[in-house]
Structures are given as C-alpha cells and as structure tokens.
Structure 1
Amino acid sequence: MKYFKFLIPLLVVACSSDKVILLPEVQQAHVHEVLDVSPAYLFYDSTAVNGVELNRKNLIISTNWLVNVDKRLTLKQLIPEIQFLQNKKRGSELHKNEDAKNYYSCNDTRIKNLGFIEFTDVYYHLKDSVASTKKAFNDLKTSSINLQIESLKLIKLADSEQTRNLQKLVSDLQTDSLFKSKPVVLHLSESLTFQDYISLKSALISVTSEDLIVDNNEFIY
C-alpha cells in the first residue's frame, strides 16, 4: 500500500524520467493524506502537438489516482486528457473499486506540503461535445446559477455584465442569499491555466456547505 504524506518542493519529477512538472500552488488544499495510490503525470511539452504529454503507465484501476498536472497547461490542453483518464476508470469492470477516488496534486503553501483536491465526481463538458454538453446544460439551465469564469479577475453571472474577482466571488458566496437558492454551475474559459483552475476549486471548497452547492458538471467554453 502506498502512502503519500511528505514534504514537497515546487517541482515533481516523474519516475524514470528527467521531465519536470510544476505543481499548482494553493493556500489550503483540505486533503493531505491519501492511502493506496497510483500516479499519472500530465507534462507541459511545448514540442507536442497539443502542448501536453500524458504518462499513465503506473495507474492501477483499483487504487486512488493522484493526477500530477503542470500548472502551465490550459484547460483546452488538459481536459481531454482528464476525460480520457476518467472514462478509463468509470468504464472498467475489471478490478473496479467503488471507493477509489481521483485527486489532483498541488503544493499547499500554508504547510509547505503536498495537498490534494478531489475530482472523482466532476463531469467535464467540452464545447466540441455538442450532444452531451447541450443535454447537460439544458438540464441545469433553469435550475441553477451559472457562473462564467473568463479569468480569476473576470467572473460574472451568465445573465449579467457585472464582473467580480475571485476574492469578491468568495465573499459573495458566503454572504449573498442568491447563491444559496440554487446549485452553482461553473462555465470555464478554455484558456484558464491549471493553476487558476485549482485556485478557483480550492476557494470554492472552502465555502461549500449544505446551503451552498457547487454542481459536479463543469462546462469548458
């Protein structure tokens, strides 16, 4: 059984490789210990066609997956690879473990240690996936609050021109009753970096409660 709890620098080096991953940084990761794991690596590679290289040789279906992603990758580069990994696990019947989770690795700067953000039940919808995206969006459109995230400085409600930054969003989520009436759905610009995405997810986790629900469907535009 592998056990991940150790001090980590700003870099993660893949086993048997001289390639380096720059992990995203957060102030609080909320999860710091994960048992029975196997890793995957998503490298930033400027020479690759899509700018990304996936190494998944050591993944075991029945374990918790730690997905180490370079913070420079954009959602456009990253999400198709994440969907590929998710589908492998969700579609597998051999050695399937219903309790096994998926986590993104990050550097928790508050404690200078490795942290994890779970994404097991997140369903990503790409703008190219027309049928599934339209169905999911139409199911949620009238029963949710839709947030458009262009960047961490440009966040707005789908039907409004008023923008807010991430800090203001967190404050509004905690104090504005509007956000407690319906689930919040994220619509994320494909140009967002993984660093920005993880910063957003970490901030949302910190304020999520029984009264404030962030939907598991996330739309990439």
Structure 2
Amino acid sequence: MKYFKFLIPLLVVACNSEKVILLPEVQQVNTHEVLDISPAYLFYDSTAVNSIELNRKNLIISTNWLVNVDRRLTLKHVIPKIQFLQNKKRGAEMHKNEDAKNYYSCNDTRIKNLGFIDFTDVNYFTKDSVEATQKALNKMKTNRFNIKVETLNRIKFSHSEEFKNLNQLISELQTDSTLKSEPLVLHLAESLTFQDYMSIKSALISLISEGIQVHNNEFIY
C-alpha cells in the first residue's frame, strides 16, 4: 500500500479527463519507493497535433517529481516536454531543493508494482538544437563508445556496421571488458517509443553495477 497516495491522484486525473496513461513495462529499475512527490502526466492524445498533452499543474518545485509518460508516445514528442520540465526545475530560484530528483514511472513486471527510473542528471539534446549538441559533443571525452539506436532490433556501435538487438547488445557489454573502459553515449532515434526508451534504460541499469559507465548526455536524432 506504500504507493496508495500516488496511485489515487493518477486515477483521479485519468477518470476526470477520461484519459488513461499506459506506463512502460520494464524488468529492472533503480528505485521502488519515492517520498515527498509531485506528479506530472504526459498523455497520449491521438486527436492532438503532436499526439501529446502535458498536465503539470500539481508540480511543486521543492519535491521529487514523478513524470508519468504514456508508453505509446515517441521521443520526438516526449523529449521537448521533458526538457521544458527540467528547465523549470533547474532554473527555479525560490523554494529550490537541491536534493529533489526527477523520476520516470514504470511498471516493474518482476514484482508487479510501480518502479521509478531516475533521470535527474540526464541532459537531452535534440536534432533541432544543433549548436548546443555540438558544444556538448566537444566538451565530452574523445574516448567514448557511441551507441546508435534505430529500433530495439537495430542497435550498433559507431565503430561497427553490425546491427544487434537489445539482448545482443547487453550480452556484449557484459562479456567484452574493453567496453567498460569508456562511457557509453546513447544516440536515439526520435521515432523510438517511450516504451522502447525505457526498455533500453532499464537494461543498462542492470549493467552499471558491473562497471559499465553510461554518460548523462543523450542525443536524439
């Protein structure tokens, strides 16, 4: 029952507006309990121009933010909204809480309950922000492993022409010790669904404890 306070507002918003959020389903998250929260909702709306509707009226700057994103939405539509929320919190001057974090909500299929993926320190760069993207790339270490993700079945390292699926990628990261020497940098197709994105993030979480480094800069192309 520890998620009761969170589930009730989610159901109220969904019922009052006749909208339902289908949360991503994953098998690995880094958090299962968050206190002192404010929720935000990114609804899938097939009638809207960009297929997305953001409800953020209950967000309080000083709290941990739980961002509930419909898994059917694509990164093209989700990431600009996430950047907007991040900028609101990062740019706040009053009531700012340096310890407050941002989480994506998911369904953890292993325990059949809610789980949360921390994205507080993730910096997103879209193909529309050419100058910011170039500056970020210039500041990053030259030695890094760039991973290009077109779909969950078409993933490759920038130094290779061979495509892998997500399971094959994770297997290689687990067995090839050279891939632990430098950080992994994600380059994600904007056509990926949020479900696909959470599947990738969830799979990488399981590898961090094994020495894999994942850069906090992520590039959407």
Large movers: runs of 4+ above 6 Å: none
Structure (1/2) with the larger helix percentage: 2
Map 1:118-129 onto structure 2 (within 5 A): 118-129=118-129
Q: Residue in 1 aligned with 2:88?
A: 88
Q: CA RMSD in A?
A: 1.9
Q: TM-score, normalised by structure 1?
A: 0.93
Structure 2 CA distance for aligned equivalents of residues 93 and 32 of structure 1: 29
Q: Residue in 1 aligned with 2:34?
A: 34
Q: TM-score, normalised by structure 2?
A: 0.93
1:154 alignment partner AA = R
Deviation per CA, 1:74-109: give whole Å up to 9, x if none: 000100000000000000011000000000001111
Query: Relative to structure 2, which stretch is displaced further, 26-35 or 60-69?
Result: 26-35
1:98–1:210 CA distance, 2 compared to 1 (3 A) = farther
Q: Residue in 1 aligned with 2:202?
A: 202
Q: How many residues align?
A: 217
Map 1:62-211 onto structure 2 (within 5 A): 62-140=62-140, 142-209=142-209, 211=211
Structure 1 CA distance for aligned equivalents of residues 43 and 169 of structure 2: 31
Gaps of 5+ in 2: none
Structure 2 CA distance for aligned equivalents of residues 197 and 27 of structure 1: 13
Structure 2 CA distance for aligned equivalents of residues 14 and 178 of structure 1: 49
1:13 alignment partner AA = L
Structure 2 CA distance for aligned equivalents of residues 54 and 108 of structure 1: 23
Structure (1/2) with the larger strand percentage: 1
Mapped contact 1:107–1:114 kept (Cα < 8 A): yes
Mapped contact 2:30–2:118 kept (Cα < 8 A): no
3-state SS in 1 of match to 2:21: strand
2:25 alignment partner AA = E
Mapped contact 1:147–1:185 kept (Cα < 8 A): yes
Mapped contact 1:7–1:114 kept (Cα < 8 A): no
1:29 alignment partner AA = V
Gaps of 5+ in 1: none
Structure 2 CA distance for aligned equivalents of residues 187 and 90 of structure 1: 24
Structure 1 CA distance for aligned equivalents of residues 94 and 5 of structure 2: 34
Deviation per CA, 1:148-207: give whole Å up to 9, x if none: 011111110112111111111111111112211111000000000000000100000011
Structure 1 CA distance for aligned equivalents of residues 58 and 191 of structure 2: 29
Q: Residue in 2 aligned with 1:13?
A: 11
1:99–1:8 CA distance, 2 compared to 1 (3 A) = closer
3-state SS in 2 of match to 1:182: coil
